[in-house]
Amino acid sequence: MAPGGSVPPARQDTVGAVVRRAVRRVLLPTLRRVPSPTSDLREWIALLEKEGELVRISAEVDPDLEITEIVDRVVKSGGPALLFENPKGAKHALLINQFGTEKRMCMAFGVEKLDDLADKLGEILELQPPQGLVDKVRSLGKLKSIADSMPKEVSKAACQEVVLTGDDVNLDLFPIQRCWPLDPAPFITLPAVITKDQATGVRNVGMYRMQKIDRRSTFMHWQIHKDGRADLRAAPDGRIPVAVALGLDPVTAYSASAPLPKHIGELMVAGFLKGSAVQLVKCKTVDLEVPANAEIVLEGWVDRTDVGIEGPFGDHTGFYTPPEEFPIFRISAITMRRDAIYPSIVVGKPPAEDEWLAKATERIFLPAIRMSVPEIVDYDLPTAGTFHNCVIVSIRKSFPGHARKVMHAMWGLGLMSLTKSVVVVDEHVDVHNYEQVFFYVCANVDPARDILLSEGPIDQLDHATTIQAYGGKIGFDATAKGPDEGRREWPQEIEMSPEIRARVDARWAELGLAGAPSGPDVQNEARARTLTQLLRR
Ligand SMILES: Cc1cc2nc3c(=O)[nH]c(=O)nc-3n(C[C@H](O)[C@H](O)[C@H](O)COP(=O)(O)O)c2cc1C
Ligand SMILES: [Mn+2]
């Protein structure tokens, strides 16, 4: 390096680096600021429209099967949200496919990528006793954001502009879809169903399909492992009040589908993810509170002895779930906004719109899973595995049998316990790169040694098990095994040396191969991406 000159080269670099860092950290985020989560469905629709992510359809379209066929084509081609303004036979518009792409899911949460959600939650979960003043102030800020997330009660709400009771209660007002040809009736598919534990008063919110029976009643599809079902089971007099909120802001709607432990409030998590508390208003005919920003609210009762045969229903498993006994929801009031918009979703053979609800859950729950199983680096629930059929997990392996420990942990963790198969790989494997995972499963597994068969609770919707909701589990240990696990010497994986890679990188332009990938990693990544995209389309 030549000595002299007015500014020493090292100093110049440092100033340049500082400026570059400032631009990257301060200016760029301001320029491409992602909009914050929206406060209600109408603001969300306006945002979608502004961003070219929503198409209004004014032609009359039939909620009986026809909407499904249109939406299925749009979802599978990565198309926009749809607002059907004239559904046949109904008084209200229908919004669908609001969650159907990764981009819209990120818009809903006001993040650039879904992984940012994990970072946000991880910061809170990993709160440590603060060291020093700066740390204390930062921790206080985080604690305040939790306190500010608790739902708040308000006295007036748009969702009660119209109140219908008695004979005026009429589900025929809404464009409830019959989704698939063998469905016996229309189903409400995107509800936030609110109940309370009668003993503790703890509120639960869950998303459970509701088959329409008549103008004033539906089934309530509370599966046996779910919190809503537990609230009914525990009711001292066998009946509980129920409120159903339809047409929420997208984050609160998502929170109803989140598999949280029973004592953790879905609406608190929604408030935290939104950055503002969910506002609640008291119901008119039952002792419950509902999100004030809802478009439509159904109030009523469910009684353990008041049951009927629900289904079949074309489900997210890709099959029809067979008819089965479920409780009936008797509606005592419908409250709503004037010109309320009815929200819907169609599930079916994957990929469907619910894929991105599941992917949001996968990312949001990573830090929580790491709290119990810290050796987990990352995990992936393949869409084709319909949430509960398969989980791929990468671990920092540090003792014999470690992969099996993680399999058992997954089978013991909340609703993850329902998963049928667990694939465990080493930390350097990209769990989202299915081709890479397949390589390690094929290469590293000795089927006589590395497969763990077990049994346990299985998702109630699973049709493959002999007994409903109980069956087999399989674990694949695709990690490297060495002498510490009593195996012969494990071979080394092939890798080019860093020096040669750097040399070829430096010479790439000279070779006249410009435009081609400049190294094996880039190459593999590019191939993996196309494969993942194919799987997701
Ligand atoms: C679109 C959609 C439909 C769903 N339908 C049902 C259903 O009919 N019954 C059910 O038990 N779970 C259903 N789920 C899953 C539950 O919403 C999920 O397990 C949630 O954690 C339940 O809340 P809980 O844990 O408070 O019971 C559905 C999820 C989605 C995304
Ligand atoms: Mn719950």
With a cut of 70, which residues of the chain have pLDDT below it? Answer: 1-33, 124-129, 515-537
Ligand 1 atom closest to 258 (CA): 21
Contact in structure between 477 and 485 (CB atoms under 8 Å): no
Residue 74: the pLDDT is 98
Q: Read out DSSP for 459-470?
A: -TT-SSSSBTTE
Q: Which of 180, 183, 196, 257 maximizes ligand 1 atoms within 8 Å of its Cβ, making it the mutation to test the pocket?
A: 257
Q: Residue 146's pLDDT is what?
A: 80
Rounded distance between C-alpha atoms, residue 366 and residue 108, angstroms: 19
Residue type, 394: S
Q: Report d(CA 468, CA 479) in Å as an integer.
A: 32
Q: What is the pTM of this model?
A: 0.90
Point out the ligand nearest to the CA of residue 225. 1
- Residue 45 contacts residue 104 (beta carbons within 8 Å): no
State the closest ligand 1 atom to the C-alpha of 460, by its place in the atom list counted from 1. Answer: 11
Read off the pLDDT of residues 439-493 as tens digits, 9 standing for 90 and up. 999 999 999 999 999 999 999 999 999 999 999 999 999 999 989 898 899 999 9
409, two tokens: 């942990």
**Atom of ligand 1 at shortest distance to CA of 259?**
21
Q: What is the pLDDT of residue 143?
A: 77
CA 228 to ligand 1 centroid distance, Å: 10
- Choice from 197, 220, 226 to test ligand 1 binding pocket (greatest atom count within 8 A of CB): 226
Q: Is 243 helix (H, G, I), strand (E, B) or coil?
A: strand
- The neighbouring-strand residues paired with 214 are 217
Q: Give pLDDT tens digits for 115-170.
A: 998 887 777 666 666 778 887 787 777 778 788 899 999 999 999 999 999 999 99
Please identify, by atom number, the ligand 1 atom nearest to the C-alpha of residue 415: 19
Q: Whose CA is nearest to atom 4 of ligand 1?
A: 208
Whether the ω angle into residue 351 lies within 30 degrees of 0, i.e. cis, is: yes
Question: Distance of CA 149 to CAs 234, 273, 276, 318, 372, Å?
Answer: 28, 8, 6, 37, 24
Give the pLDDT confidence score for residue 407 in this predicted structure. Answer: 98
From the CA of 195, how far away is ligand 2's center (Å)? 10
Question: One of 315, 378, 459, 477 is an active-site residue; which one?
Answer: 315
CA pair distance 360, 507, nearest whole angstrom: 42
For residue 306, which of 330, 289, 288, 322 has the smallest C-alpha distance?
Answer: 330
Residues with CB in 5 Å of ion ligand 2? 204, 227, 260
Which residue, among 386, 518, 519, has the nearest Cα to 464 in the 3D structure? Answer: 386
Provide φ and ψ at 495, rounded to 5°: -150, 140
Active site residue 167: no
Under a CB-based contact definition with an 8 Å cutoff, are residues 296 and 174 in contact? Answer: yes
pLDDT in tens, 70-97: 999 999 999 999 999 999 999 999 999 9
